[in-house]
């Protein structure tokens, strides 16, 4: 009976380890995807003054300043 209990404990440990490992792999893939998405967002939408300088109202303001 001890041998059967040992086998069951090893199987249970293997199954729990498999679930934990799979969830860690899924979490790592999601994190990598989120980081890539944030990187793309930063490239498409500049932050700070760079975002303002590309705005049409700022371009109009510059053109108005040049006319003066």
Per-residue model confidence as pLDDT tens for the chain (68 residues) = 567 789 999 999 999 999 999 999 999 999 999 999 988 887 777 777 777 777 788 888 888 888 77
CA pair distance 29, 22, nearest whole angstrom: 11
The reported pTM is 0.53
Q: Which domain holds residue 44?
A: 2-67
- Taking CA atoms, 23 is separated from 12, 28, 29, 33, 45, in Å, by 17, 9, 10, 15, 33
What is the total count of domains within the chain? Answer: 1
């Amino acid at each position: 009976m001890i041998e059967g209990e040992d086998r069951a404990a090893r199987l249970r440990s293997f199954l729990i380890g498999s679930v934990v490992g799979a969830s860690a792999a899924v979490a790592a893939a999601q994190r990598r995807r989120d980081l890539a998405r944030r990187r793309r967002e930063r490239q498409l939408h500049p932050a700070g003054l760079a975002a303002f300088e590309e705005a049409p109202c700022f371009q109009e303001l510059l053109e108005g300043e040049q006319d003066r």
